[in-house]
Amino acid sequence: MVSIQKDVSLKNFSNYKIGGNAKYFLEATSLDELKEGFAKWKEISDTLPTFILGGGTNVLISDKGFDGLVIHR
């Protein structure tokens, strides 16, 4: 069962160990989890931005965080 978490620190998902919180966070390890997560996300908001975060090695995350949903692989 997939859950969308609130206010998750993104610094642990960045190679540089920097970054603020994601307002919403989804950890999806399969296509089925991703589909389930998107269905739950649509219940929460269809207007906030979405960002897909891979390994976190080529991204700098703002200390202000991300005011939307971050999906981590």
Q: In this predicted model, what pLDDT tens digit does every residue of 14-56 receive, in sequence order?
A: 999 999 999 999 999 999 999 999 999 999 998 999 999 988 8
Domain count, the chain: 1
Residue 22 sits in a domain of what CATH number? 3.30.43.10
Q: Is 5 exposed, middle or buried (0-12, 13-18, 19+ CB in 10 A)?
A: exposed
Q: In this predicted model, what pLDDT tens digit does every residue of 7-20 receive, in sequence order?
A: 999 999 999 999 99
Q: Which amino acid is at 60?
A: L
Q: Which amino acid is at 50?
A: T
How is residue 73 written in tokens? 């692989």
pTM: 0.90
- Domain with 43, as residue range(s), is 4-72
